[in-house]
Amino acid sequence: MPLNLSFLPFLNRVEKSVLDAVEHEVEWFCLPAGQLLFREGDDADAIYLVRSGALAAFRSGALGRPDLIGYIRTGEPVGEMSMLDETPHSASVYALRDSELVRLPKASFERLTNKHASLMRELSRMMLARLRGPRRASGSEPKVFALISTSPTIDLDYRSKEIASTLAGMGVNCGIADESCSDWSGQKLDAFEAGHDIVLLTARFSDPAWARRAMGRADRMWLFARADARPSTPLLPDDPSPAMKLKLLDVVLLHPGGVTAASRPQDWANAAEASRVFHWRQDHHVADTARLARTLSGRSVGMVVSGGGARAYAHMGAIRALREAGMPFDFVGGASMGAIIAAGIALDWSDDELEQRIRKAFVDSNPLDDWTLPVVSLAKGEKVDARLKEHFGEVEIAEMVRPFFCLSSNLASGRPQVHRTGLLRHALRASIAIPGLLPPVVVNGQILVDGAVFTNFPAREMRAFHRGPVVGVDVTRAQGLNPSDFEDPPGFIEWVRKNGLKSPPPIASLLMRAATIGVADHRDVGREAADLLILPETSVDIRSWDRFEEVRDAGYDAAQGMLAGIDDAMRVRLGLKAAPQKGG
């Protein structure tokens, strides 16, 4: 019996005879929630069309777990590009909820397109529209969120209404469905979801039937927990929802005023196997609510900064200019020296505090002058360790106000190592371990060195971390050495007599440059992942730690210039006010 394919928008313009022919060739089947449709690397032997339900596509991830590429919803095809291009599937696709699909085998497709040119024409139009459209189409974004309470003392009604009110102020239509909607039919919930930009399904574990249904319909889950409580064991139901199974789950940790934390944020993240931890603080209620609302609506701003030794001072100037313009930073990440700057933002340091701490750690005295007879490095690294402990103490990454990551380079695996958990100063120490200059960091038998060796500007990793725009500051330069330092160089004794022991010799720059030379091949890939890219101009050597103001100001000027040139559409995406009109 032929199937009615009129639900597919791209087939609306073909002749009825063509539609009838397609309906006779397709195969209908059900894909239960959580089941795999096809795996990344599999041969593409058919086009699939979603009749009902929702799918999610994942690709091998830059953050150590699969990256969520997007969602495929009712009326959309999947697998068509790989089949037409005769290449293996570029992503793995799973059913996010119970779904009905139709399958058009490759042989049938080729037979139909050879006979009916209009079918290929309409499919080509649809694919071109995707390629020319925004980087992420609205339908590919998460829309339905399950907000699950882990404690009866958490007022989910209040929390969800606060988020919905903030979203409304952003022009986003948000609907809330709680346990009173538990008897709604699937069709009624479908209609409710279709009528809103964002849907919040609020549930409590004390009502397991509705909680399971909410989790089963969710594109993503947010688990609400109290900082003054401990996670139970087990924390989640035995029959996990697809969102849980596919790790599309975050923890929102509530911090009531005047209470003492009973557990580490990482304890909650481990218990839930969560991707991210958000903090909702009573004494920063408005700012944290706004950050959560931006994240839900795909408008969060990710800030990523590159390594570059002393040139990374430019990041602080750029950050000051962006903050003065009103840009929020919701997610932050970096590599090498940029990781230290990014950590300050994630800890909610003000511009003044960030500059004061960086001055104390790197400008007032050189942390890399504890020279030693080299066995694994020129410097002992003890002064660097002491300064990281002084400024970051025992803070864990999961405790940071803003979600944070940094990169080191794993010499054992030959891949970037993404740090999203554990003690912050340990992650930073690995990220700045310049080969030959500082001792490497050894963790579980893995040798970790400076993040810039493999990825100096981790904008691609930031894009995998959140769904909104990415803003980057990159001080990478193709030329990082002063040729005169290497033309007829003096001997060691003569160099020390002239420059002293506190100034690093040219071999330090040579090692830093040699360690990161391969970055040039990957730089454009990272830069393409940024929606707004700031490139400060400075010729300062990467070991000139004393030229703080000059480099910082170059970053400020570069950011100011970039802000002046962006259009109103980009300003809205970045949470900025429209630019003032010129003239009267």
Structural domain spans, the chain: 16-132, 144-297, 302-480+530-574
Nearest alpha-carbon partner for 455 in 518, 363, 381, 547:
518
Predicted confidence at residue 74, as pLDDT, reads 84
Distance CA 51, CA 73 (A): 8
- Given the residues 140, 297, 336, 544, the one annotated as active site: 336
Is residue 473 within 8 Å of residue 306, measured between CB atoms?
yes
Predicted confidence at residue 581, as pLDDT, reads 61
Q: What is the pLDDT of residues 317-341, one digit of tens each?
A: 999 999 999 999 999 999 999 999 9
Rounded to 10°, the helix 117-132/16-25 angle is: 90
Distance CA 131, CA 278 (A): 33
CA 289 to chain centre: 19
Predicted confidence at residue 137, as pLDDT, reads 46
CA distances from 140 to 78, 219, 416, 426, 575 (A): 12, 10, 28, 36, 21
Query: Which pLDDT band, with edges at 50, 70 and 90, does 140 fall under?
Result: low
Distance CA 191, CA 304 (A): 39
Q: Which two tokens stand for residue 327?
A: 């840009």
- Answer yes or no: 336 catalytic: yes
Domain 144-297 in CATH: superfamily? P-loop containing nucleotide triphosphate hydrolases (3.40.50.300)
Q: What is the pLDDT of residues 482-530, one digit of tens each?
A: 677 777 787 767 777 777 665 667 777 777 666 665 555 555 667 788 9
Angle at 278 between CA 275 and CA 281, to 5 degrees: 165
Torsion of CA 557, 560, 562, 566, to 10 degrees: -170
Given a cut of 90, whether residue 360 has pLDDT beyond it is yes
> φ and ψ at 92, to 5 degrees?
-95, 140
3-state secondary structure of 120: helix
pLDDT average, residue stretch 190-195? 90
Distance CA 50, CA 484 (A): 64
How many Cβ atoms are within 10 Å of 513's Cβ, its own excluded? Answer: 15
CATH 3.30.70.120 corresponds to the domain 16-132: no
- Given the residues 98, 250, 288, 450, the one annotated as active site: 450
- Answer yes or no: 450 catalytic: yes
* Least confident among 62-66, 88-92, 203-207, 379-383: 62-66
Distance CA 488, CA 319 (A): 40
pLDDT average, residue stretch 457-479? 87
3-state secondary structure of 451: helix
- Which of the two residues, 25 and 124, has the higher pLDDT score? 25
Predicted confidence at residue 502, as pLDDT, reads 59
Predicted confidence at residue 40, as pLDDT, reads 93
Distance CA 553, CA 321 (A): 10
Given a cut of 90, whether residue 236 has pLDDT beyond it is no
Q: Which two tokens stand for residue 104?
A: 């058009």
Alpha helices in 439-567, H assignment, sequence order: 459-465, 492-499, 506-516, 519-528, 548-565
CA 296 to chain centre: 13
- Which of the two residues, 577 and 106, has the higher pLDDT score? 106
Is residue 532 within 8 Å of residue 570, measured between CB atoms?
yes
Q: Could you tell me what percent of the chain has a pLDDT over 90?
A: 52
Predicted confidence at residue 138, as pLDDT, reads 46
DSSP string, 160-225: HHHHHHHHHHTT--EEEE-GGGTT--HHHHHHHHHT-SEEEEEEETTSHHHHHHHHHH-SEEEEEE
Q: Look up the CATH architecture of domain 302-480+530-574.
A: 3-Layer(aba) Sandwich (3.40)
Query: Which pLDDT band, with edges at 50, 70 and 90, does 259 fall under?
Result: confident
